[in-house]
Chains A and B, each alone.
Chain A
């Protein structure tokens, strides 16, 4: 071997190692991107599904309120306005108890991905507007409905669990006749 042959051989080895290392690093980066892309795709699908369920829960709550506003306002009265001795959350909780999609549809629980969607709260907003122009005694009231949906997939990708939560709110106006 010549005097200059050894450094040249070393240089070739270094070039090969650098090329292979950079190749591996780049391949790992692309693989990681690919895995994350699949993960994001799945998460996006889950979130879209949960948004649809939240939307359905909100619509169900609006229909229940329109069908039975007296029960809701009775629940509000017992929750906030009654004297402390008779104040109770039982009516309010009973009103929300079956605004859960897994209760409304018994088949939801048998889906491949366990998910829940429910109305978590109905609030009175303090912007009640007296006098609607309809006739004496009618008032406009505003209610804020909050729904949440979640799904949990155990053992998704390298043993981690995939949990998604979606919360949606809607404000509805209700016109009611108040007693004297």
Chain B
């Protein structure tokens, strides 16, 4: 019988002389009489080296820890990337939101400037006003806002904008339609809380107004 095949003896067999080696041969089997019996019980066999020593376990833990270190580092990087993406999306949402709100105002209510002074309300109608702050703090990150509004034209030599029509087939005519065709640039900048790097997002749209 090999070491691995040994089974715990029946206590009723005590003293019968048939108990497996390593166990007390007479009396309570849970309390071996000799120190050798205790050692064998822990090692699951006499003189066995099939178990792991403390040194081996320590080496295993060290190797496993060494393998886990980059994974833990990546967890940290993943968390940081999530935070940075959140900041980026917040900035983008801020840009889009303010641009949509501003483009809903009449063009005459949009001041021309680069940059336009902020921290005030835009819009002449009391029911249609947009307040644009110069900065905002969202999720503990501070975002700075910058707005630029300027004329754009299809031809830089002319200020007004016109559209082409064909009154009759082969007969082209143009007509000045817009006095103002504005371009609104909204920029949001912020400093990352993790690496201190400055980031910015800029979106733009156009606003045409009929004279």
A contact residues vs B (CB 8 Å cutoff) = 2, 4-5, 8, 12, 15-16, 19-20, 22-23, 26-27, 30-31, 33-34, 37-38, 41, 44-45, 48-49, 51-53, 55-56, 59-60, 63-64, 66-68, 71, 74-75, 78, 86, 88, 90-91, 94-95, 97-99, 101, 103-107
Please tell me which one of the listed residues A52, A74, A104 contacts residue B161 in the complex, with CB atoms under 8 A apart: A104
- State which residues 32-74 of B face A: CB under 8 Å: 48-50, 52, 56, 59-60, 63-64, 67-68, 70-71, 74
Shortest beta-carbon distance from A50 to chain B in Å: 10
- The complex places the Cα of A38 from the Cα of B177 at a distance, in Å, of 42
Query: Can you name 5 A-B residue pairings with CB atoms under 8 Å?
Result: A12-B59, A15-B64, A41-B89, A90-B169, A106-B156
A103 to B163, CA, bound (A): 10
Instruction: Report the Cα distance A20→B68, complex, angstroms.
Output: 8
- With both chains docked as a complex, state the minimum distance between the C-beta of A142 and any C-beta of chain B, in angstroms: 21
Contact partners of A37 in chain B: CB under 8 A = 81-82, 85
User: Given the complex, which residues of B lie within 8 Å of A97, measured CB to CB?
Assistant: 164
Contact yes or no, B208 A59, CB < 8 A: yes
* Chain B: minimal CB distance from A171 (Å): 18
| Chain B hits for A86, CB < 8 A | 169
Q: A2 near B49 (CB under 8 angstroms)? A: yes
Residues of B within 8 A of A64 (CB): 163, 177
Could you tell me if A12 and B155 are in contact, using CB atoms closer than 8 angstroms? no
Is B154 interfacial (CB 8 A cutoff)?
Answer: yes
Task: Give the dominant DSSP class at A's interface.
Answer: helix
Q: Which of B74, B100, B165 contacts A27 (CB 8 A)?
A: B74
Q: A30-B75, A52-B203, A55-B100 are in contact. List 18 more A-B contacts (CB 8 A).
A: A4-B49, A12-B60, A19-B63, A19-B68, A22-B67, A23-B67, A27-B70, A30-B78, A41-B85, A53-B205, A59-B103, A67-B210, A95-B165, A98-B164, A101-B206, A104-B206, A106-B153, A106-B155
Inter-subunit contact B175/A68 (CB<8 Å): yes
B131 in the interface, Cβ–Cβ < 8 Å?
no
User: Which B146-193 residues have a C-beta within 8 angstroms of A?
Assistant: 152-156, 161, 163-170, 172, 175, 177-178, 181, 183
Q: Which residues of A contact B78 (CB under 8 A)?
A: 30, 33-34
Q: With A34-B77, A105-B152, A106-B154 in contact, do A71 and B165 touch (Cβ < 8 Å)?
A: yes
Q: How many B residues touch A, CB cutoff 8 Å?
A: 57
Question: Contacts A27-B71, A48-B96 hold; do A55 and B152 have CB atoms under 8 A apart?
Answer: no
* Bound form: Cα–Cα A68–B168 in Å: 14
Query: Residue of B at shortest CB range from A100?
Result: B154
Once bound together, how far apart are the Cα atoms of A30 and B76, in whole Å?
A: 11
A22 to B82, CA, bound (A): 23
Known: A68-B177, A106-B154. A91 touches B96 (CB 8 A): no
Chain A residues positioned under 8 Å from B48 (CB to CB): 4
Closest 10 CB pairs of A and B: A94-B166, A56-B206, A52-B205, A19-B67, A105-B152, A71-B165, A23-B67, A30-B74, A91-B166, A67-B177
